[in-house]
A = this chain, B = another copy of it.
Amino acid sequence: MVSIGRISLPGSVPPSLHHQCSPPSAIGFARFPDRISFRSSVVLRDEVEKKGSRVVIVNGKVDGLGKSECETEFDTALGNGRAGNSGKNHGVLSTVGNSTNIKWHECSVGKNEKQSLLKQKGCVIWFTGLSGSGKSTVACALSQSLCKMGKLAYILDGDNVRHGLNRDLGFKAEDRAENIRRVGEVAKLFADAGVICIASLISPYRRDRDACRAILPDGYFIEVFMDVPLEVCEARDAKGLYKLARAGKIKGFTGIDDPYEVPLNCEIVLKHTGGSPSEMAEKVLNYLEQKGFLQA
């Protein structure tokens, strides 16, 4: 029932992507056929039942079955031990976090088709750094450069997303973490769609950034650290926030009374002495080129 295959990617995309899907787990599960019809859905259920899968009722909800590492084409590359929370069931009900009664719907239009169409590989470029370090500026310059090359990029800006998706979130610790988690999840969806997704968030804590990295295949999360000293950011203070933070009018401000945890193993470091925003964007562009992301 489960097609187990080797992913073959051209260019110099990280070798870890050449990953073989895990074999089916001990608990049986079924995979949707490429083309789902109503009839096949019914058959599917029979197959699941024949495989001895269990359905457990918890608090009046249907509870989960076994999990598989093989799912969408994008997710197939996830079986790297870092993406444990992304394993999905094919055509079976599962419980994920607070969600129950969930069936994974797979469609045969996969990431490869989208990448071929776009002549690029979807990925996430994650800009992190202090407020005023130039994340959004370089992200924008990068987006412009990619556009000129005919590549599809999309910027998820931490502040902008708070106007929509994350408008329910504030700045207390758990809200900031949730803000980053959601941006990471959305960035993953964009990458899955073949888009070069550029996320730009202070994202001060390693654990939050690493959690976003963990839901993507190895090599597809490109962390760019804007290595700009606090005093330089504070001197810029484009939003006037440092002044307010120093005056005690904003609490928990990153770099002032809340820590920024410098990335330990990020892919790219951009120093403020490293040139203009365009020149910095060029460095990221070169990285993408070298790693084969700018071709299908």
Residues of A near any B CB (own CB < 8 A): 35-38, 41-42, 44-45, 55, 57, 60-62, 85-86, 88, 93-94, 96-105, 107-109, 113-114, 117-118, 134, 136-137, 139-141, 143-144, 146-147, 150, 152-157, 159-160, 162-171, 175, 178, 182, 185-186, 188-190, 192-195, 200, 215, 236-241, 244, 248-251, 276-277
Contact = CB atoms under 8 A, between A and B. Distances in A.
Given A44-B238, A101-B241, A193-B195, A96 B147 contact: no
Contacts of A144: 35, 107-109
A37 B167 contact: no
A3 to B, nearest CB: 17
Given A62-B249, A93-B239, A105-B140, 12 more contacts: A35-B141, A37-B137, A93-B240, A99-B170, A100-B171, A102-B159, A102-B163, A118-B152, A154-B192, A154-B193, A186-B186, A189-B190
**Would you call the interface of chain A mostly helix, strand, loop, or mixed?**
mixed
Contact of A165 (B37, B42, B108, B185): B185
Contact of A193 (B103, B152, B244): B152
B61 A171 contact: yes
Contacts of A105: 136, 140, 155, 157, 159-160, 200
16 contacts: A35-B141, A41-B236, A57-B244, A60-B251, A85-B167, A96-B167, A97-B168, A98-B169, A99-B162, A99-B170, A107-B144, A108-B144, A109-B144, A113-B147, A114-B152, A154-B192
A164 B113 contact: no
A98 B193 contact: no
A137 B171 contact: no
B101 A171 contact: yes
B62 A166 contact: no
Given A109-B144, A251-B60, A98 B168 contact: yes
B38 A134 contact: yes
Most buried by B among A143, A162, A241, A277: A162
Contacts of A118: 152
